[in-house]
Amino acid sequence: MADEIFDAQDLITLTDEEGNEEQFEVIASLEIDGVMYYALMPVANNENGDCVLLKLEMDENGEEILSTIDDDDEYERVADAFDDEVFSEIDYD
């Protein structure tokens, strides 16, 4: 069972492969098949309200990292789970 390392509404800073930093708000987390996934929303430049879905993994040094979901089937399964479990409960009015 994966452990949550972030709580909803936490602000975290992520660094991409080019070294650019961006701040995100943790919207929600879900454990699916023993893997922890997070829905994050960029704090700046996010007029559309788009979320980013990332998964918790271990790097080569055993450190927990958030990484992209590269497999299309896995991404669809995770996006559907967030839609069903989390985003269906949000009142947008």
Q: What is the pLDDT of residue 33?
A: 93
**pLDDT of res. 9:** 66
- What mean pLDDT do residues 12-35 have? 91
pLDDT at 48: 79
Residue 89 has a pLDDT of 59
Can you give the pTM of this predicted structure? 0.79
6, pLDDT greater than 60: yes
Other beta carbons less than 10 A from residue 70's beta carbon? 8
**DSSP SS3 for 13:** strand
Q: 78: burial class by Cβ within 10 Å (0-12, 13-18, 19+)?
A: buried
